[in-house]
Amino acid sequence: MSYQVLARKWRPRKFAELVGQEHVVRALTNALETGRMHHAYLFTGTRGVGKTTIARIFAKSLNCERGQSADPCGECSVCTSVDEGRFVDLLEIDAASNTGVDDVREVIENAQYAPSRGRFKVYLVDEVHMLSKNAFNALLKTLEEPPPHVKFLLATTDPQKLPVTVLSRCLKFNLKRLLPEQISGQMRHILGAENIAYEDSAIGELARAADGSLRDGLSLLDQAIAYGGGALHADDVRTMLGSVARGQVLGVLDALAAGDGERLLAECTQIASYSPDFGGVLDDLASVLHRLQLIQLIPGYQPEEGSDDDGALVALAGRMTPEDVQLYYQIATSGRHDLVLAPDARTGFEMALLRMLAFRPGDDAPTGRAEKPATVGNTMPPAMSSPSITAAPVRPATVAERQKDYPSPLRAEPAARPAPAPAAVMAPVARDANGLPNWDALIEQAGLRGPFGLLAQNAVLRERDGQTLVLALQPAHMNLAVEPMVSQMEERIGQVLGERIRLRFVGSNQEAGTQTPAARAAQVRDTAQAAAEQAIEGDPLVQSLKREFGARVVPQSVKPLEN
């Protein structure tokens, strides 16, 4: 007997065997049990998620010799004929190769005849969006009012191309992309039944590569079993897929966290030695960064159970700031799209990682080593300085001193040029009569932007209790006050104030919320917007256009001039 591929051998024969489409199964089961069935169903979704499989099971349920049921017997002649693809009353039409109006007319003419063996004549039209406009028009009347013994089951991967007149005549079911956990669970079930040895990490690699399609996943599984000589090993799967181990991705992030350019390039070279799909490596990098951000910002989040890198992930999350992780994620995803523009894939991959290193927030630019050279001077204005640096007066380095530190020759400054001014000292934060620091100034000097800025801008500094600053926060924003954001805000604000402080957030009423920096900024924007709209309405040219041509001003299109 010839070998049958896993995707066909393990194709579901009953609704209970389907994976991940419970919402569709429930609706169809209830319709079959109550007899409230529509005459036309549309199944949409990406390839390999079960559209035609569900349609075939539905056809068996309608025509099973033991009675119409959501649980066909699978043993009668009708059920076995459907499974084998030879049931005469199930007409499967590939719309991709039968697009013309003549093909549809043939369907319409045959629909009037009673079924030969079953209770219903079922038309399964796959990739229905490929039909021509004339074919759709010819089908509409029969699709709306078919004979009572006819059911239409339409399947498509691109429902946007279907005419609205067709969509309105069908019950639509959108099939979901399967999660990697669902695909890997089905793979383990199949491998156990087939008595094939496997490694869990190999299953995980295949499930991610399936990209939401169980059929694609089983095809890759077939390929991996053949590649591994009858067994499933993680190294074989990675070689076959052109992917790398999760530990190597963590090595890249570890080098980035240390600011070590030499080690980062060494990790790139090691990854390149496997001849991987560099786009897939960037995808893996983005996936790990996503998990790092969850660990950092979601209290109580636990990494995947059974993962070998749980401890490494938690440790890495403590060495990176949430802003770093967001920056690296953005560069990884944009670098994925830019690979086609690079001279070659490896160059594009390395440039994406070097971009992460170059834009890495820190005191100095990366040097290619984990250690940073001594700072010779501070030439950045206070507003641009990192909040982790305490600015102090520093004598500018002389030309001789700079030549001593850097062997490339420097040109001496002209004698007439005045010496540069020393670095400015960070101005003290203004305080009110009660000794509380000005919250707006504190936000600016501490460099609270991004998620920190959103939390700070929606808070009001109420009082100080010892070393604790009490901040009033509206209930709608209390979800932002979570670790590790609060502890990092405490560190930044403490550096500006020159002391160790703690932050405590308490709920506030709506009236108190109007005193926040965010509310004041919104009020300024609203005032400027109103003034801009009033200026446009009063403009003589605009008034002339309104009188002579009936023109009108769209308020949302008016923007105030920025200073």
How many CB atoms lie under 10 A from the CB of residue 563?
A: 4
Give the H or E element holding residue 505: strand 502-507
Q: What would the 3-class secondary structure string for 442-471 be?
A: HHHHCCCCHHHHHHHHCEEEEEEECCEEEE
pLDDT tens figures, 428-438: 777 766 778 88
Q: Which two tokens stand for residue 253?
A: 């992030």
Q: What would the 3-class secondary structure string for 95-108 be?
A: CCCCCCHHHHHHHH
Q: Which two tokens stand for residue 501?
A: 């402080």
Q: CA 491 to CA 487: how far, in whole Å?
A: 6
Q: Which two tokens stand for residue 112?
A: 């009037």
Selected residue with higher pLDDT from 351 and 536: 351
**Averaged pLDDT, 505-520:** 72
Tell the residue number behind the tokens 């010819």, with chain if given: 138
Q: CA 436 to CA 485: how far, in whole Å?
A: 22
**Averaged pLDDT, 356-363:** 74
Give the H or E element holding residue 485: helix 485-497
Note whether 205 and 77 are within 8 A (CB). no
Q: What is the residue type of 194?
A: E
Q: Nearest-CA neighbor of 391 among 492, 496, 499?
A: 496
pLDDT of residue 378: 39
Q: How far is CA 68 from CA 31, 72, 79, 161, 217, in A?
A: 11, 8, 12, 34, 33
Residue 526 has pLDDT above 80, yes or no: yes
pLDDT of residue 304: 58
pLDDT tens figures, 90-104: 988 888 777 678 778
**Averaged pLDDT, 168-184:** 91
Q: CA 485 to CA 493: how far, in whole Å?
A: 12
Q: What is the residue type of 539?
A: D
Q: Nearest-CA neighbor of 173 among 23, 324, 12, 392?
A: 23
Say what the pTM is.
0.56
* C-alpha dihedral (414, 417, 422, 428), degrees to nearest 10: -150
Q: Which two tokens stand for residue 65?
A: 């010799």
What b/e sequence results for 297-308 when a residue is b if at least 16 CB atoms lie within 10 Å of its CB, and e otherwise?
beeeeebeeebe
pLDDT of residue 144: 86
Note whether 468 and 503 are within 8 A (CB). yes
Q: Is 395 helix (H, G, I), strand (E, B) or coil?
A: coil
**Averaged pLDDT, 123-137:** 88
Q: Is 358 helix (H, G, I), strand (E, B) or coil?
A: helix
Q: What is the residue type of 488?
A: Q
Q: ∠ CA 190-193-194 to the nearest 5 degrees?
A: 85
Q: CA 74 to CA 80: how far, in whole Å?
A: 6
Q: CA 375 to CA 173: how far, in whole Å?
A: 63
Q: Is 311 helix (H, G, I), strand (E, B) or coil?
A: helix
**Averaged pLDDT, 176-200:** 92
Q: Which two tokens stand for residue 245?
A: 């181990």
How many CA within 13 A on the CB side of residue 105?
4
Note whether 375 and 364 are within 8 A (CB). yes
User: What are the start-end ranges of the H helices in 172-232?
Assistant: 180-194, 200-209, 214-227
**Averaged pLDDT, 393-417:** 42
**Averaged pLDDT, 278-282:** 89
Tell the residue number behind the tokens 């040029």, with chain if given: 417
Torsion sign (Cα): 335, 337, 340, 341: negative
Q: Which segment of 144-158, 243-257, 299-313 scores lowest on mean pLDDT?
A: 299-313
Give 362's DSSP letter: S
pLDDT of residue 426: 53
Residue 483's pLDDT band (cuts 50, 70, 90): confident
Residue 563's pLDDT band (cuts 50, 70, 90): low
Q: Which two tokens stand for residue 346?
A: 């490896």
Residue 427 has pLDDT above 90, yes or no: no
Note whether 64 and 73 are within 8 A (CB). yes
Note whether 22 and 175 are within 8 A (CB). no
Q: What is the mean pLDDT of the chain?
A: 81
Q: Nearest-CA neighbor of 281 among 208, 179, 180?
A: 208
pLDDT of residue 410: 36
Point out which residues pair with 92 in neighbouring strands: 124
Q: Which stretches does DSSP call E strand in 96-181?
A: 121-126, 150-156, 171-174
In this structure, the strands spanning 459-465 and 468-473 are: antiparallel
Q: CA 108 to CA 131: how far, in whole Å?
A: 14
Q: CA 105 to CA 135: how far, in whole Å?
A: 8
List Cβ neighbours of 140 (8 Å cut-off, separation of 6 or more). 165, 166, 169
Burial of 510 (0-12, 13-18, 19+ CB in 10 A): exposed
Note whether 458 and 477 are within 8 A (CB). yes
Residue 450 has pLDDT above 90, yes or no: no
Q: CA 400 to CA 421: how far, in whole Å?
A: 18
Q: CA 206 to CA 238: how far, in whole Å?
A: 9
Residue 562's pLDDT band (cuts 50, 70, 90): low
Q: Please report, in angstroms and rounded to a whole number, the separation of the first and last CA atoms in the chain.
A: 80
% of the chain beyond a pLDDT of 90? 29
